Amino acid sequence: METLTHGQVLARFGHALSDSTRSRLLLALREAPGYPAELAEALGVSRQSLSNHLACLRGCGLVVALPEGRRTRYELADASLAKALANLLETVLAVDPQACDATAEQGCC
């Protein structure tokens, strides 16, 4: 197991949240553990796409896969992630559309 710096942890979290499907997947897992087929249906994505996103989230250390017979259940890797997501959802952002439009090619907004 690798120990990450705070900056590396935030970078992984940011990468996970940078994709809307992964963000929605994390929010779904925040509510309850889930199985790939049901998660894919709930999010309106293909099973292959969901599998790729779950692999990314596992690689980032944000979700874990728990074998259950022939099925695999996914859940957040740590309960504190649910709290972190809840705190992010409570954050109010003052967005400057002009600044975001000007830097959109640089990855802002």
Determine the pLDDT at residue 13.
87
Determine the pLDDT at residue 4.
79
Domains defined for the chain, CATH in brackets: 6-106 (1.10.10.10)
Chain centroid offset of residue 83 CA: 13
51-106 pLDDT, tens digit each: 999 999 999 889 999 999 999 999 999 999 999 999 999 988 787 877 766 555 55
Q: What is the dihedral of CA 27, 28, 32, 33, to 10 degrees?
A: -110
Q: How far apart are CA 23 and CA 43, in angstroms?
A: 11
21-42 pLDDT, tens digit each: 999 999 999 999 999 999 999 9
Indicate the residue type of 104: A
> Please, which residues have CB within 8 angstroms of residue 69's CB and are 6 or more apart in sequence?
none
